[in-house]
Amino acid sequence: MQLAFTLFKYFPFGGLQRDFLRIALACQARGHAVRVYTLSWQGEMPTGFEVLRAPVKALTNHRRYEKFVDWTRRDLAARPADRLIGFNKMPGLDVYYCADPCYEDKARVLRGPMYRLSSRYRHFAAYERAVFAPAARTEILMISAAQQALYVKHYATPAARLHLLPPGIAPDRRAPANAAGIRAGFRREFQLADDDLLLLQIGSGFKTKGLDRSLRALAALPADLKRRARLIAIGQDDPKPFIALSRALGVAGKTRILKGRDDIPRFLLGADLLIHPAYNENTGTVLLEAVVAGLPALASAACGYAHYIEEAGAGRVAPLPFDQAAFDALLAGMLADGDARRRWRASGLAWAETADIYSLHERAADIILSSALTRTTA
């Protein structure tokens, strides 16, 4: 079959983008052709993919997205596909992979009534309604039970169209047999002493991921812990505001902000604690990546996958509503207790042996292809 995938932007280090790629590759591995419609593509293109960049421009993002949908629709009319799978909300999808939180809920909870009079709101609300309304035909791949409940609350989406997937952690995130050697080499490279404590934060979108909260927690550490602590943040975003904040807090010399990169497993093995105090996060795949690597994690309960940290016994979760002082105390306690970190590491590694946290992409391909087969043979 010919499968068509859409996503607004592809770059190698985004969680949504990595999920798209692994799902598309899983479909391709089963013998199906992959065509991709996008506005931009950064990085290598997989062998056999047909990637089409829509040549559209506009002054606003939502108008650009409207032009993208129109351009994609015209190309599909000339060259039909058996199934259209979207990774951003838009009309006309057969399958939607839901990595984004409910826009309608955010518009009503986080914005004032006047916001809902804007053209931006009308655009994104209409695109979301086109996917989730009861009369729509789109099959929806959900990755967050909490977000699924919000979509049902606002749209009364029929349960038969909602497919809750397990996580899909890449196998290369698991701690290998030579993890200790990799850790030692990493710490030599980054000039970390044996008693230094490396905090690691990973994720594009530093504001949403709470990098400001991490910097404040680092600055608030007791003197002995603060002397030993370092923070490395990795992601695709503008680091300038956070560099300025680190200077204002007096921790610039303890902080490094790096662009997205493809050797994340080394960082997971070389660090002492993953820190992820996100303001909002549909899932938070990096939390599970840390657990399976044996890296204890501290996250906010705003992360959809935070409950896995508690299930695995692999760290701590800061409750909501978020309190900076309480988070600072949690961080200090975790860094001061080396025995607890060793227990969290062992517990996480043991849990990772049996937990169903690796099959998202194959399960997604199952649903895409089974629904496509039903459609083409009906």
Residue 102 and residue 178 in one domain: no
The mean predicted confidence, pLDDT, of the chain is 95
What six digits make up the tokens of 355?
């937990």
What six digits make up the tokens of 298?
């501290």
Contact 268, 285 (CB under 8 A): no
Number of Cβ atoms within 10 Å of the Cβ of 52 = 16
Residue 322: the pLDDT is: 97
Residue 313: the pLDDT is: 98
Residue 171: the pLDDT is: 82
Residue 377: the pLDDT is: 38
Residue 176 and residue 301 in one domain: yes
Alpha carbon distance 125, 115 (integer Å): 12
Helix (H, G, I), strand (E, B) or coil at 84: strand
Residue 249 and residue 142 in one domain: no
Average pLDDT for 116-125: 96
pLDDT band at 376 (very low <50, low <70, confident <90, very high): very low
Residue 60 and residue 154 in one domain: yes
Alpha carbon distance 183, 268 (integer Å): 9
- CATH of residue 73's domain is 3.40.50.2000
> What's the number of domains the chain is made of?
2
Residue 373: the pLDDT is: 53
Residue 118 and residue 222 in one domain: no
| Inter-helix orientation angle 145-155/119-132, to 10° | 100
**Quick check: 375 pLDDT over 90?**
no
**Domain containing 342: what range?**
172-352
Residue ranges with strand state E in the chain? 2-6, 9-10, 33-38, 40-41, 50-53, 83-86, 95-98, 139-142, 162-164, 197-202, 229-234, 255-258, 273-276, 297-300, 315-318
Residue 122 and residue 13 in one domain: yes
Burial of 266 (0-12, 13-18, 19+ CB in 10 A): middle
pLDDT band at 14 (very low <50, low <70, confident <90, very high): confident
pLDDT band at 372 (very low <50, low <70, confident <90, very high): low
Alpha carbon distance 140, 85 (integer Å): 10
Residue 172: the pLDDT is: 81
Residue 143 and residue 276 in one domain: no
Quick one: how far is CA 225 from the chain centroid?
30
Residue 188 and residue 112 in one domain: no
pLDDT band at 371 (very low <50, low <70, confident <90, very high): low
Residue 276: the pLDDT is: 98
Residue 218 and residue 364 in one domain: no
What would the pLDDT profile of 281-328 be if each residue is shown by its tens digit? 989 999 999 999 999 999 999 999 999 999 999 999 999 999 999 999
Residue 85 and residue 31 in one domain: yes
Residue 160 and residue 296 in one domain: no
Percent of the chain's residues with pLDDT above 90 = 94
Alpha carbon distance 246, 290 (integer Å): 25
Alpha carbon distance 237, 13 (integer Å): 11
What would the pLDDT profile of 219-265 be if each residue is shown by its tens digit? 999 999 999 999 999 998 999 999 999 999 999 999 999 999 989 99
Average pLDDT for 22-40: 98
What would the pLDDT profile of 127-165 be if each residue is shown by its tens digit? 999 999 999 999 999 999 999 999 999 999 999 999 999
Residue 74 and residue 139 in one domain: yes
Percent of the chain's residues with pLDDT above 70 = 98
What would the pLDDT profile of 182-199 be if each residue is shown by its tens digit? 999 999 999 999 999 999
**Quick check: 42 pLDDT over 60?**
yes
